[in-house]
Structure 1
Amino acid sequence: MADHADDGNEGGGGDRDIFVYRGGLAPQHVTHVRIDKSVEVIDEDAFNCCEDLVHVETHDRIRRVGERAFFGCKSLRNIDLRSVVEIGEDAFYECVSLTDVQFGNKLETIGKYAFIQCTSLEHLNLTSIITVKTWAFRSCKALTSIKFSERLETIELNAFCACERLRHIAIPLKRDLFTFNPELQEYNQFSRCEQLTTVDLVGGAHNKTIASLHMDSWRTEMIAEINRINQVLPNTPADEKTESIKRWVDSVIDGMDHYKAEHHRYVKEALTLLELALWKAKLDEKEENFAEGGTKKKAKLDAESVRKEKRVTCGAGTVIRNILPFLKLE
């Protein structure tokens, strides 16, 4: 069901007609659309090839955009999808005038070919996305920057292939972000992105870990390794950029794992030495007291019981927690 409505002016004498969408397929001639508040899913093919569609007014209860819902809507300029959880396959295929899409903090999945050849789309702020499917943003030739969040888990094959002006991406520090092409034996998520030169890490976990490392040299080395990608990437061939990013992510994670292990080894040694020092100090004090007030035999027996007690209750744990806050690593 779908109805027409005026633009809200008194008497119904608006400058244009607004089509109220309540489900199903819309007429091909619509230019301005209001999605009725009863609609939670924009159906498959709902506005397929509505080439005159310019504006869509959404609401905060829409959960899904169906397959090919706005396929070939060549005049559509912007759309608010802040409540949407999933965008289906081919949903905005070849929406060549689309410059701005507002994604919210609920979006989890962008389907195959969802925004392929949206040649006017310039920026992506994907604050909650978990999965970007195959070819989702292929040939978005005006796209210059992409920001993901720590929730990102997978970018599938060719997702951003041939985004010729893409210069900057921000990704989380995670292994296996990129799926592998077994036929070509390569990672090609950013294939043919000649201008991709800058990669930043999102989330603060890596910064906290680096700041907590015990040695200054370790911290310096890890910061240098994180910065290395932006020195290497400008000179990396376009078809090798994804592979280079993948190797860099693995290298940073491996480095952090290595230095965390070294950190904990040093801490364990320090704890052991501290425990022995405290135990010896307590033992010496106790033996002195015994020597002053009793026989040597009694002192020896009591000393053995003190050793046994101090192995368990030397108090070292309390001292460490108070003076070595760097022990706890993310």
Structure 2
Amino acid sequence: MEKKRNTISSFMEKYYLHFNAAAMVDAAKAYEKHLEEGGKMMITLAGAMSTAEMGKILAEMIRQGKVDIISCTGANLEEDIMNLVAHNSYKRVPNYRDLSPQEEWDLLENGFNRVTDTCIPEEEAFRRLQKHIFHQWKSAQDKGERYLPHEFMYKMLLSGDLEQYYEIDPKDSWMLAAAERNLPIICPGWEDSTMGNIFASYCIKGQLNPSTMKSGIEYMTYLSDWYIKNSGGKGVGFFQIGGGIAGDFPICVVPMLYQDMEMETIPFWSYFCQISDSTTSYGSYSGAVPNEKITWGKLDIHTPKFIIESDATIVAPLIFAWLLDM
């Protein structure tokens, strides 16, 4: 018997029948089928999805077990927590396309860093977190311990030190939901983030050692171990939001295990979907069609493959709503 769907998912099923809308529904149905058959799913977050408040629905995906591992940029790792502790001080600029260089400079002078139509308040966001994350870094170093970037973030969140600052409902923070579940996270290129820059500044000042922070190579070994243990049966799917290193880094674990570790029976990724507005062009990996990934040993001929060429801030919440039966 066909499943009776709730409001958003039934609306999608009735009206999203062609082109990118149809691809979105097809991808949602295949994601749902993948989970129902016992598969696991990685979600990758590029761009500014945390500042776009994707946590409002991604946190529920985590709580309901619809995602098993996340790969994200350092910006997405920290910006969800910044939104958690400084939301009331964010500034929205709906006319951002019309800003002059002087108006942009004025935002900087007033402590606002702009991400499209949203300005992150430097003092309330970055600096409010800085003393607490430094405490975690220094405490680990003093004990001779080393951790991955997300593990330090989890320690800070679970310590309760930030609760005094909460300015949104904590159930809307995907990082808090992930910390409470101890969800595996891959954060390649973490150094390219505000917290990465702050960590580097402490190293330059001699207050911290670079070795206190585990590296990107250690993230790959961490992912390799996880993939080997979780790719049996239906396998692991790959749901990519945007492009860049958040997707490029983890998808390579399969050819690395197959080619470099000579694990010839390692399964390919068993589902692939990318939401992106990047166009196919000369050398553009983010805009490459999924079939190109077959030639790199990442996807199988039979892997269900979807490309949705649209705005991820529109598409991802709709697909998640489908999966959550909203």
| TM-score normalised by the chain length of structure 1 | 0.22
Which structure has more relative contact order (CA 8 Å, sep 6+)? It is 2
In our comparison, the structure showing a higher alpha carbon Rg is 1
| TM-score normalised by the chain length of structure 2 | 0.22
